[in-house]
Structure 1
């Protein structure tokens, strides 16, 4: 062993000791407990804790017939409000940490992902190895998780559940029925101490037609792959002859969504018994959804489906092209068959205007009813008879409930009647002018006739006086 390696080992031991001094101070722990109703009247507790990464965590179930399985385990380097430590101890720890990391980098150690980006890190693999399947356990990130020794003290969030043994299916070679909008839990025989091999161990999950099945491996731990990448022991999930999932080794939180209502799960192992945990999973189903008319599924996950209307159309109630529905507790929150079909944008605008008009009329009706009640009470107190009350009500309706008719009446009075009157004036003037013209023409003809007769008489008289014979 070289001098640099010896120095590195000494520094790591010193760093471990210093981290113990840092972690020995008080930590803030917050806990939230939720109860979930399972089948057969059983209760599952879900516990969520948040504390400092240097703290010792105790995962405990209150019932002796329940065991732990982990839902979340996150290291949050951007949050440190749960960590309380002495400033001097932290400065010594930090300086020693920097020294060790620099020496490691010189020895071609790789930087951890937490050093590149301060993002949340999942450490379910290590906490599953220590706690999943047990009634209680103790876990410390600094000592139980690789690389955690080089993490800065920050918040960690752990969410786990305590599930009763009687609510977990644990037998091989069986058909598991998935009721409509429901689910359950299953573990391999021997979990979490070992799993069996040398025999056929499989399950068939079956739900109603039109429903898809979701398998979530909260904990998977079987024999790891060989040096060449091949797997000796395999967990395989198949759907209608197609392989959806095939893996070995360790995993947590893996979700597989089927395409049909029948899924087969097989654990293929060579040894008769292998000292690994096996697996613990949750199965559930949500009915498969059919997109509303005029739309299609643009994005689909376990919990959601997003529908997208075709170009130029939208959903009439939201006036949006997209709509997302959610699946919770094994059922869709929205009523899928009652979703409206996509319509053209112009149709949606017309419908919205119609709805607005209906709302206005509804408010007017409410005002009419209130007016009616008030007027009825007033007129009753005044001692008027039913006929008078009906007249008053009709008057109120004419004033309040028929604005469109009033607007039409105003249009007739303001536009149509003046136009007709002006036209009549023009026609009347034309008739008068025509009559005057005809009258004057007749007077001129009469005057011309009289003038001609007078001249003839004068000529005759003149001829008579001169002694001319009359013709």
Structure 2
């Protein structure tokens, strides 16, 4: 059943009253009225314009990407060429554009209305997948024919990829049309046969000025694109080694995804790797070395906060595309240091900030603040306001004189809090331990003396008993017989 939309408000057509609930925003399509209909599965955009008292309805034909929340999709095959004068395509700013089509139908990607030689946004592929007919959804939109889409809950069931071929056809262009029958060689086409299936491509629209391309440069950004000079027509070997360094804050990591790679894959006898290659390294450790063509995106994640991507080329100019890579920093970005404060410590999960002496954070009236980085949302759990002078708080009546004195003393007291804690540790642990040790040793000495004395008393008693026995039982004295025996 077709959806019915009604325009109200004369030539302006500002208000839209559909059969199903419809919200209306003015001016987003370049026409007076834009209506967004929410349904269970997706969001459809309908642009309306009243001409001579009649309501002109543009059929919905763009779908929202669930990852980016941006309206994206493609115009049904053959419909764009027949569009009337009042048509204007809906395209909201940002990245993560999506193009979908039934297998065998052309897939159309568009970034700008400018020519190929301008510096406007160009197509940069992120991924391109094939899906079987069991996981797709086909919708018949009026007379525009059948459209194939892949529901979000089925996007994991991929049946193949055509990234290599669509990169060759569409990479670096402002607008292009891709067809399996036209742009995939016959010998390889059998591997991509999915009659009744669908194609789904995700791409970005990136201007030339947004790419990082300068050899020897260091890039400090939370996300962005890196590209070889000359892409997509050629890549340069002058200089023969071109390195771009990506650097993040301490405690962060970097994830790099090579979305397109097309280099010469020549190897001479004795070579252990291609002479032309792209090398992703962290310090002296190589994380990935690739050459030739890529079929699927290549993703590398650093352990630290720095990553190098190096292009090595053996020719001054070679007629292949080169490489394109997207990077994104993982973890929380270090907050800006507050006024009259400083960063004391930062790692992957925590950041500690202090205010200078006689300054405090205005919301807590303390000098120290510790922030925690959320693992899921990669955001800090608290704000970081500028530090404020205690005298200013006192003058404005925010604190009393007693509080001021306490905080001024606390300015040094808080700095020495760790010392005090260590002093308490000495009093609470070391001193009692020494006392207990002395008591135990003293008790042992007393016991030893008691035992020693008792043994001495017992020895004296035995000697006295022996003397008394000798006195009571004297032995006869020894006498000398001076007279000889009479025989």
Q: Which has the higher contact order (CA 8 A, sep 6+)?
A: 1
TM-score tier by shorter-chain length is 0.3 to 0.5
Name which one, 1 or 2, has greater alpha-carbon Rg: 1
Q: Whose helix proportion is higher, 1 or 2?
A: 1
